[in-house]
Amino acid sequence: MDKKIRASVPAKVILFGEHFVVYGKRALAAAINRRLAVEVSSREKRGYHVKIENIPTFGLELDLEARKGRDRKVLPYKDYSAASKALAYVKGSVEYLEERYGIGDEGVEIEIKSEIPLSAGLGSSAATCVATIAALKEYFGVKGDVERIRSDAHSVEKEVQGAASPIDTAISTYGGYVLVERNEVKRMQLAELNLIVGCVGSIPLSMDSTKASDLGLKTKTLVAGVKDKREIFTSIFDSIFDASDEITARAVRAIEDGDFVTLGALMNINHGLLDAIGVVPRRLSELAKVSQELGALGAKVTGAGGSDEMGGVGSVLVLPGEAGDSIQAAMKIAGALAMDVKTGGEGLKIET
Ligand code: PMV
Protein backbone atom coordinates (compact mmCIF):
# COMPACT_ATOMS: atom_id res chain seq x y z
CA MET A 1 0.00 0.00 0.00
CA ASP A 2 1.66 3.22 -1.07
CA LYS A 3 -0.38 5.93 0.52
CA LYS A 4 0.00 8.46 3.26
CA ILE A 5 -2.72 9.49 5.69
CA ARG A 6 -2.46 12.46 8.02
CA ALA A 7 -4.82 12.94 10.94
CA SER A 8 -4.53 15.99 13.16
CA VAL A 9 -6.38 16.97 16.34
CA PRO A 10 -6.36 19.89 18.79
CA ALA A 11 -5.15 20.14 22.37
CA LYS A 12 -7.70 20.97 25.05
CA VAL A 13 -8.02 23.11 28.12
CA ILE A 14 -10.50 22.57 30.90
CA LEU A 15 -11.95 26.01 31.60
CA PHE A 16 -14.06 24.99 34.59
CA GLY A 17 -14.88 21.98 36.71
CA GLU A 18 -11.89 19.60 36.48
CA HIS A 19 -11.83 17.02 39.29
CA PHE A 20 -15.41 17.93 40.26
CA VAL A 21 -16.53 16.39 36.96
CA VAL A 22 -15.38 13.02 38.32
CA TYR A 23 -18.25 13.37 40.83
CA GLY A 24 -20.84 14.16 38.16
CA LYS A 25 -20.53 17.96 38.35
CA ARG A 26 -20.50 20.13 35.26
CA ALA A 27 -17.22 20.90 33.49
CA LEU A 28 -16.52 23.09 30.47
CA ALA A 29 -13.61 22.37 28.14
CA ALA A 30 -12.41 23.82 24.85
CA ALA A 31 -10.09 22.94 22.02
CA ILE A 32 -7.10 25.24 21.60
CA ASN A 33 -5.00 26.07 18.56
CA ARG A 34 -2.13 23.70 19.36
CA ARG A 35 -2.29 20.47 17.40
CA LEU A 36 -0.93 16.96 17.25
CA ALA A 37 -0.65 15.17 13.90
CA VAL A 38 -0.18 11.48 13.15
CA GLU A 39 1.04 10.44 9.71
CA VAL A 40 0.66 6.83 8.65
CA SER A 41 2.46 5.44 5.60
CA SER A 42 3.86 2.13 4.40
CA ARG A 43 7.33 0.83 5.19
CA GLU A 44 9.28 -2.03 3.66
CA LYS A 45 9.85 -4.05 6.82
CA ARG A 46 6.90 -5.70 8.55
CA GLY A 47 5.52 -4.32 11.80
CA TYR A 48 4.92 -0.84 13.08
CA HIS A 49 7.66 1.74 13.37
CA VAL A 50 6.83 4.73 15.53
CA LYS A 51 8.60 8.06 15.41
CA ILE A 52 7.72 10.92 17.70
CA GLU A 53 9.02 14.33 16.77
CA ASN A 54 9.08 17.80 18.21
CA ILE A 55 6.84 17.22 21.19
CA PRO A 56 7.90 20.24 23.27
CA THR A 57 10.91 19.12 25.35
CA PHE A 58 11.91 15.77 23.83
CA GLY A 59 11.78 13.27 20.97
CA LEU A 60 12.22 9.53 20.63
CA GLU A 61 12.14 6.65 18.22
CA LEU A 62 11.45 2.92 18.55
CA ASP A 63 10.45 -0.27 16.81
CA LEU A 64 7.14 -1.65 17.93
CA GLU A 65 5.93 -5.18 17.35
CA ALA A 66 2.25 -4.73 17.81
CA ARG A 67 0.88 -8.24 18.12
CA LYS A 68 0.58 -9.63 21.62
CA GLY A 69 2.93 -12.38 22.67
CA ARG A 70 5.86 -11.33 20.47
CA ASP A 71 9.02 -9.75 21.74
CA ARG A 72 9.00 -6.00 21.52
CA LYS A 73 12.17 -4.14 20.73
CA VAL A 74 12.13 -0.71 22.30
CA LEU A 75 14.83 1.78 21.41
CA PRO A 76 14.25 4.95 23.39
CA TYR A 77 15.93 7.97 21.91
CA LYS A 78 15.87 9.60 25.29
CA ASP A 79 14.99 7.73 28.42
CA TYR A 80 12.33 10.05 29.72
CA SER A 81 9.22 8.75 31.44
CA ALA A 82 6.80 10.94 29.52
CA ALA A 83 8.08 9.46 26.28
CA SER A 84 7.07 5.96 27.25
CA LYS A 85 3.72 7.36 28.29
CA ALA A 86 3.10 8.78 24.81
CA LEU A 87 4.10 5.44 23.34
CA ALA A 88 1.76 3.52 25.59
CA TYR A 89 -1.16 5.27 23.86
CA VAL A 90 0.18 4.48 20.38
CA LYS A 91 0.75 0.86 21.34
CA GLY A 92 -2.68 0.69 23.00
CA SER A 93 -4.32 2.11 19.87
CA VAL A 94 -2.59 -0.36 17.55
CA GLU A 95 -3.45 -3.34 19.74
CA TYR A 96 -7.05 -2.21 20.08
CA LEU A 97 -7.45 -1.82 16.31
CA GLU A 98 -5.90 -5.23 15.70
CA GLU A 99 -8.26 -6.88 18.12
CA ARG A 100 -11.40 -4.90 17.31
CA TYR A 101 -11.08 -4.49 13.54
CA GLY A 102 -8.39 -7.02 12.59
CA ILE A 103 -6.04 -4.49 10.97
CA GLY A 104 -2.79 -5.98 9.71
CA ASP A 105 0.85 -5.14 10.35
CA GLU A 106 2.34 -5.53 6.90
CA GLY A 107 4.70 -2.62 7.44
CA VAL A 108 3.44 0.67 8.78
CA GLU A 109 5.26 3.87 9.61
CA ILE A 110 3.59 6.00 12.28
CA GLU A 111 4.99 9.50 12.67
CA ILE A 112 3.75 11.82 15.39
CA LYS A 113 4.37 15.54 15.39
CA SER A 114 3.04 17.52 18.30
CA GLU A 115 2.79 21.05 19.62
CA ILE A 116 1.20 19.77 22.84
CA PRO A 117 3.41 19.51 25.91
CA LEU A 118 3.11 16.20 27.79
CA SER A 119 1.80 15.70 31.33
CA ALA A 120 0.58 19.29 31.23
CA GLY A 121 -3.17 18.70 31.41
CA LEU A 122 -3.56 19.74 27.78
CA GLY A 123 -4.93 16.46 26.49
CA SER A 124 -1.87 15.02 24.75
CA SER A 125 -2.90 11.43 25.62
CA ALA A 126 -6.36 11.71 24.12
CA ALA A 127 -4.96 13.58 21.13
CA THR A 128 -2.50 10.75 20.51
CA CYS A 129 -5.28 8.14 20.70
CA VAL A 130 -7.77 9.98 18.48
CA ALA A 131 -5.24 10.90 15.79
CA THR A 132 -3.55 7.47 15.76
CA ILE A 133 -6.86 5.63 15.55
CA ALA A 134 -8.28 7.96 12.90
CA ALA A 135 -5.15 7.71 10.73
CA LEU A 136 -4.86 3.91 11.01
CA LYS A 137 -8.59 3.33 10.37
CA GLU A 138 -8.39 5.49 7.26
CA TYR A 139 -5.17 3.77 6.14
CA PHE A 140 -6.67 0.28 6.50
CA GLY A 141 -10.05 1.33 5.10
CA VAL A 142 -11.98 0.54 8.30
CA LYS A 143 -15.48 1.97 7.92
CA GLY A 144 -17.17 4.05 10.61
CA ASP A 145 -18.02 7.61 11.55
CA VAL A 146 -16.26 10.18 13.67
CA GLU A 147 -18.32 9.26 16.74
CA ARG A 148 -16.94 5.71 16.45
CA ILE A 149 -13.38 7.10 16.37
CA ARG A 150 -14.15 9.08 19.53
CA SER A 151 -15.47 6.05 21.38
CA ASP A 152 -12.59 3.84 20.15
CA ALA A 153 -10.11 6.43 21.41
CA HIS A 154 -11.92 6.73 24.74
CA SER A 155 -11.74 2.93 25.15
CA VAL A 156 -7.99 2.98 24.53
CA GLU A 157 -7.44 5.87 26.92
CA LYS A 158 -9.36 4.04 29.64
CA GLU A 159 -7.48 0.82 28.96
CA VAL A 160 -4.06 2.49 29.12
CA GLN A 161 -4.61 4.70 32.15
CA GLY A 162 -7.26 2.79 34.09
CA ALA A 163 -9.91 5.53 34.03
CA ALA A 164 -10.58 8.59 31.89
CA SER A 165 -13.43 11.05 31.62
CA PRO A 166 -14.82 11.53 28.11
CA ILE A 167 -13.80 15.22 27.96
CA ASP A 168 -10.41 14.92 26.31
CA THR A 169 -11.32 12.52 23.53
CA ALA A 170 -14.50 14.52 22.80
CA ILE A 171 -12.53 17.74 22.39
CA SER A 172 -9.79 16.09 20.30
CA THR A 173 -12.45 14.65 18.01
CA TYR A 174 -14.95 17.48 17.74
CA GLY A 175 -12.95 20.61 18.64
CA GLY A 176 -14.97 23.62 19.79
CA TYR A 177 -16.38 23.50 23.31
CA VAL A 178 -17.94 20.69 25.31
CA LEU A 179 -19.92 20.70 28.52
CA VAL A 180 -19.75 17.47 30.47
CA GLU A 181 -22.38 16.59 33.01
CA ARG A 182 -22.79 13.20 34.65
CA ASN A 183 -20.43 11.74 32.03
CA GLU A 184 -22.65 12.99 29.18
CA VAL A 185 -20.86 15.12 26.61
CA LYS A 186 -22.73 18.04 25.08
CA ARG A 187 -21.18 20.12 22.30
CA MET A 188 -21.53 23.90 22.80
CA GLN A 189 -21.37 26.86 20.45
CA LEU A 190 -19.49 29.59 22.32
CA ALA A 191 -17.34 32.52 21.23
CA GLU A 192 -13.57 32.23 20.92
CA LEU A 193 -11.48 33.33 23.92
CA ASN A 194 -7.87 34.56 23.94
CA LEU A 195 -6.03 32.96 26.82
CA ILE A 196 -2.51 32.25 28.05
CA VAL A 197 -1.44 28.79 29.12
CA GLY A 198 1.53 28.66 31.49
CA CYS A 199 3.05 25.23 31.59
CA VAL A 200 5.54 23.94 34.15
CA GLY A 201 7.07 21.05 32.23
CA SER A 202 10.57 20.84 33.64
CA ILE A 203 11.24 18.40 36.42
CA PRO A 204 13.46 19.84 39.16
CA LEU A 205 16.88 18.15 39.30
CA SER A 206 16.30 17.57 42.99
CA MET A 207 13.30 15.35 42.25
CA ASP A 208 13.53 11.69 43.16
CA SER A 209 13.90 9.71 39.92
CA THR A 210 11.31 7.11 40.99
CA LYS A 211 8.85 9.98 41.42
CA ALA A 212 9.75 11.29 37.96
CA SER A 213 8.77 7.96 36.44
CA ASP A 214 5.38 8.22 38.17
CA LEU A 215 4.56 11.37 36.22
CA GLY A 216 2.71 9.33 33.63
CA LEU A 217 0.26 8.48 36.39
CA LYS A 218 -0.12 12.06 37.58
CA THR A 219 -3.85 12.44 36.85
CA LYS A 220 -4.64 9.07 38.41
CA THR A 221 -2.63 9.88 41.55
CA LEU A 222 -4.24 13.30 41.98
CA VAL A 223 -7.78 11.98 41.42
CA ALA A 224 -7.11 9.27 44.02
CA GLY A 225 -5.79 11.90 46.46
CA VAL A 226 -8.99 13.92 46.14
CA LYS A 227 -11.05 10.78 46.75
CA ASP A 228 -9.10 10.00 49.93
CA LYS A 229 -9.59 13.53 51.28
CA ARG A 230 -13.27 13.46 50.41
CA GLU A 231 -13.70 10.31 52.47
CA ILE A 232 -12.49 12.24 55.52
CA PHE A 233 -14.23 15.56 54.80
CA THR A 234 -17.27 14.33 52.90
CA SER A 235 -19.83 17.05 53.62
CA ILE A 236 -17.25 19.83 53.20
CA PHE A 237 -16.09 18.40 49.87
CA ASP A 238 -19.66 17.95 48.70
CA SER A 239 -20.30 21.67 49.29
CA ILE A 240 -17.14 22.49 47.32
CA PHE A 241 -18.27 20.22 44.47
CA ASP A 242 -21.70 21.91 44.38
CA ALA A 243 -20.05 25.34 44.32
CA SER A 244 -17.96 24.26 41.34
CA ASP A 245 -21.05 23.03 39.52
CA GLU A 246 -22.65 26.45 39.97
CA ILE A 247 -19.46 28.18 38.82
CA THR A 248 -19.45 26.22 35.54
CA ALA A 249 -23.09 27.08 34.86
CA ARG A 250 -22.46 30.77 35.52
CA ALA A 251 -19.30 30.74 33.42
CA VAL A 252 -21.20 29.47 30.39
CA ARG A 253 -23.61 32.41 30.79
CA ALA A 254 -20.69 34.85 31.21
CA ILE A 255 -19.12 33.64 27.94
CA GLU A 256 -22.48 33.90 26.18
CA ASP A 257 -22.86 37.47 27.50
CA GLY A 258 -19.26 38.45 26.68
CA ASP A 259 -18.85 39.34 30.38
CA PHE A 260 -15.12 38.75 30.83
CA VAL A 261 -14.89 40.39 34.25
CA THR A 262 -17.36 37.84 35.66
CA LEU A 263 -15.70 35.04 33.72
CA GLY A 264 -12.30 35.93 35.20
CA ALA A 265 -13.70 36.18 38.72
CA LEU A 266 -15.21 32.71 38.32
CA MET A 267 -11.83 31.36 37.18
CA ASN A 268 -10.21 32.76 40.33
CA ILE A 269 -12.87 31.13 42.53
CA ASN A 270 -12.51 27.82 40.66
CA HIS A 271 -8.75 28.01 41.28
CA GLY A 272 -9.39 28.52 45.00
CA LEU A 273 -11.58 25.41 45.10
CA LEU A 274 -8.89 23.37 43.35
CA ASP A 275 -6.42 24.60 45.96
CA ALA A 276 -8.88 23.60 48.69
CA ILE A 277 -9.00 20.01 47.43
CA GLY A 278 -5.21 19.87 47.28
CA VAL A 279 -4.24 19.82 43.60
CA VAL A 280 -2.40 23.15 43.38
CA PRO A 281 1.37 22.82 43.88
CA ARG A 282 3.54 25.79 44.79
CA ARG A 283 4.91 26.43 41.28
CA LEU A 284 1.42 26.58 39.73
CA SER A 285 0.08 28.60 42.64
CA GLU A 286 2.81 31.19 42.02
CA LEU A 287 2.01 31.38 38.30
CA ALA A 288 -1.67 31.99 39.06
CA LYS A 289 -0.92 34.52 41.78
CA VAL A 290 1.57 36.53 39.75
CA SER A 291 -0.86 36.61 36.80
CA GLN A 292 -3.65 37.90 39.06
CA GLU A 293 -1.32 40.53 40.54
CA LEU A 294 -0.25 41.73 37.11
CA GLY A 295 -3.85 42.40 36.14
CA ALA A 296 -5.24 39.15 34.72
CA LEU A 297 -9.03 39.02 34.84
CA GLY A 298 -8.74 35.41 35.96
CA ALA A 299 -6.15 32.66 36.50
CA LYS A 300 -6.55 29.04 37.49
CA VAL A 301 -4.97 25.65 37.36
CA THR A 302 -6.27 23.67 34.37
CA GLY A 303 -6.53 19.89 34.07
CA ALA A 304 -5.49 17.59 36.86
CA GLY A 305 -3.19 20.16 38.51
CA GLY A 306 -0.11 18.82 40.26
CA SER A 307 1.68 18.16 43.51
CA ASP A 308 4.95 19.36 44.97
CA GLU A 309 6.12 15.72 45.29
CA MET A 310 5.67 15.35 41.52
CA GLY A 311 7.71 18.46 40.82
CA GLY A 312 4.80 20.87 40.44
CA VAL A 313 4.45 19.84 36.78
CA GLY A 314 1.15 21.06 35.27
CA SER A 315 -0.50 24.12 33.74
CA VAL A 316 -2.38 27.28 34.54
CA LEU A 317 -4.90 29.04 32.35
CA VAL A 318 -5.09 32.81 32.34
CA LEU A 319 -7.64 35.27 31.00
CA PRO A 320 -5.12 38.06 30.58
CA GLY A 321 -7.21 41.19 30.07
CA GLU A 322 -4.79 43.97 29.09
CA ALA A 323 -1.85 42.39 30.92
CA GLY A 324 -0.88 39.64 28.43
CA ASP A 325 2.68 40.80 27.71
CA SER A 326 3.74 41.22 31.32
CA ILE A 327 2.10 37.91 32.32
CA GLN A 328 3.96 36.07 29.55
CA ALA A 329 7.24 37.70 30.61
CA ALA A 330 6.68 36.80 34.28
CA MET A 331 5.89 33.19 33.36
CA LYS A 332 9.08 32.89 31.34
CA ILE A 333 11.12 34.32 34.21
CA ALA A 334 9.51 31.68 36.45
CA GLY A 335 10.78 29.00 34.04
CA ALA A 336 7.35 28.15 32.60
CA LEU A 337 6.45 27.69 28.95
CA ALA A 338 3.99 30.52 28.15
CA MET A 339 1.68 30.03 25.18
CA ASP A 340 -0.90 32.39 23.68
CA VAL A 341 -3.89 30.24 22.78
CA LYS A 342 -7.33 30.68 21.26
CA THR A 343 -10.21 28.44 22.26
CA GLY A 344 -12.69 26.67 20.06
CA GLY A 345 -10.44 25.35 17.29
CA GLU A 346 -11.23 22.74 14.67
CA GLY A 347 -11.52 19.06 15.67
CA LEU A 348 -10.22 15.96 13.88
CA LYS A 349 -8.97 16.58 10.34
CA ILE A 350 -8.04 13.67 8.07
CA GLU A 351 -6.05 14.25 4.87
CA THR A 352 -5.15 11.61 2.32
O1 PMV B 1 -4.82 16.86 33.35
P2 PMV B 1 -5.78 16.07 32.53
O3 PMV B 1 -5.92 16.55 31.15
O4 PMV B 1 -5.50 14.60 32.62
O5 PMV B 1 -7.24 16.34 33.13
C6 PMV B 1 -7.77 15.60 34.16
C7 PMV B 1 -9.14 16.07 34.48
C8 PMV B 1 -9.73 15.41 35.70
O9 PMV B 1 -10.99 16.01 35.90
C10 PMV B 1 -8.86 15.65 36.93
C11 PMV B 1 -9.88 13.91 35.54
C12 PMV B 1 -10.91 13.50 34.52
O13 PMV B 1 -10.81 12.34 34.08
O14 PMV B 1 -11.84 14.28 34.22
The Cα 33–Cα 40 span in angstroms is 22
pLDDT at 212 (0 to 100): 56
Q: Concatenated DSSP letters for 181-241?
A: ETTEEEEE-----EEEEEEE-PPPTTS-HHHHHTGGGHHHHHHHHHHHHHHHSHHHHHHHH
Whether the per-residue pLDDT at 55 is higher than 60: the answer is no
Greatest alpha-carbon pair distance for the chain in Å reads 61
Do 230 and 163 belong to one domain? no
Whether the per-residue pLDDT at 67 is higher than 70: the answer is no
Whether the per-residue pLDDT at 75 is higher than 50: the answer is no
pLDDT at 56 (0 to 100): 52
Do 68 and 153 belong to one domain? yes
The residue range of the domain holding 70 is 4-191+345-351
**How confident is the model over 154-165, as a mean pLDDT?**
86
What share of the chain in percent tops pLDDT 90? 68
Whether the per-residue pLDDT at 163 is higher than 90: the answer is no
Residue 105 belongs to a domain with what CATH number? 3.30.230.10
Do 202 and 187 belong to one domain? no
The Cα 263–Cα 296 span in angstroms is 11
Contact, 150 vs 129, CB < 8 A?
A: no
**How confident is the model over 289-295, as a mean pLDDT?**
98
Phi, psi of 111 (to 5 degrees): -120, 125
* 120 pLDDT tier (thresholds 50, 70, 90): confident
Strands 48-55 and 108-114: parallel
Among 16, 119, 122, 165, name the best residue to mutate to test ligand 1's pocket (greatest count of ligand atoms within 8 A of Cβ): 165
Beta-bridge partners for 12: 31
Do 163 and 220 belong to one domain? no
The Cα 300–Cα 275 span in angstroms is 10
pLDDT at 272 (0 to 100): 98
Whether the per-residue pLDDT at 306 is higher than 70: the answer is yes
Count of structural domains, the chain? 2
Q: Is 219 in the pocket of ligand 1 (CB under 6 A)?
A: yes
Do 152 and 201 belong to one domain? no
* 334 pLDDT tier (thresholds 50, 70, 90): very high
pLDDT at 71 (0 to 100): 45
Mean pLDDT, the chain, rounded, equals: 88
Count CB-CB contacts under 10 A for residue 57: 18
Whether the per-residue pLDDT at 240 is higher than 50: the answer is yes
Beta-bridge partners for 31: 12
Q: For residue range 209-230, list pLDDT tens digits in order.
A: 555 556 667 888 899 999 999 9
Supply the pTM of this predicted model: 0.87
**How confident is the model over 41-51, as a mean pLDDT?**
88
Q: Is 19 in the pocket of ligand 1 (CB under 6 A)?
A: yes
Q: Is 113 in the pocket of ligand 1 (CB under 6 A)?
A: no
Phi, psi of 77 (to 5 degrees): -75, -35
pLDDT at 162 (0 to 100): 75
321 Rama sector, left if φ>0, alpha if ψ -120 to 50, beta otherwise: left
Whether the per-residue pLDDT at 57 is higher than 60: the answer is no
pLDDT at 66 (0 to 100): 47
pLDDT at 208 (0 to 100): 61
The Cα 302–Cα 319 span in angstroms is 12
Whether the per-residue pLDDT at 61 is higher than 60: the answer is no
Whether the per-residue pLDDT at 20 is higher than 90: the answer is yes
pLDDT at 62 (0 to 100): 47
* 182 pLDDT tier (thresholds 50, 70, 90): confident
**How confident is the model over 34-50, as a mean pLDDT?**
91
Radius of gyration of the chain (CA): 20
Do 116 and 255 belong to one domain? no
The least confident of 6-15, 66-75, 326-335 is 66-75
Do 240 and 126 belong to one domain? no
**How confident is the model over 10-15, as a mean pLDDT?**
97
CA 252 to centroid of ligand 1, rounded, Å: 19
Residue 211 belongs to a domain with what CATH number? 3.30.70.890
Whether the per-residue pLDDT at 340 is higher than 80: the answer is yes
Do 279 and 171 belong to one domain? no
63 is catalytic: no
* 79 pLDDT tier (thresholds 50, 70, 90): very low
The Cα 11–Cα 6 span in angstroms is 16
pLDDT at 205 (0 to 100): 56
Which of 63, 71, 168, 208 is an active site residue? 168
**How confident is the model over 274-291, as a mean pLDDT?**
97
Do 242 and 318 belong to one domain? yes
Do 69 and 205 belong to one domain? no
Q: For residue range 132-151, list pLDDT tens digits in order.
A: 999 999 999 999 999 999 99
**How confident is the model over 265-278, as a mean pLDDT?**
98
Q: Is 164 in the pocket of ligand 1 (CB under 6 A)?
A: yes
Ligand 1 atom closest to residue 167's alpha carbon, by position in its atom list: 14
Q: Is 28 in the pocket of ligand 1 (CB under 6 A)?
A: no
Do 130 and 279 belong to one domain? no
Whether the per-residue pLDDT at 51 is higher than 90: the answer is no
**How confident is the model over 85-107, as a mean pLDDT?**
88
Do 103 and 234 belong to one domain? no
| Number of residues that this document lists for the chain | 352
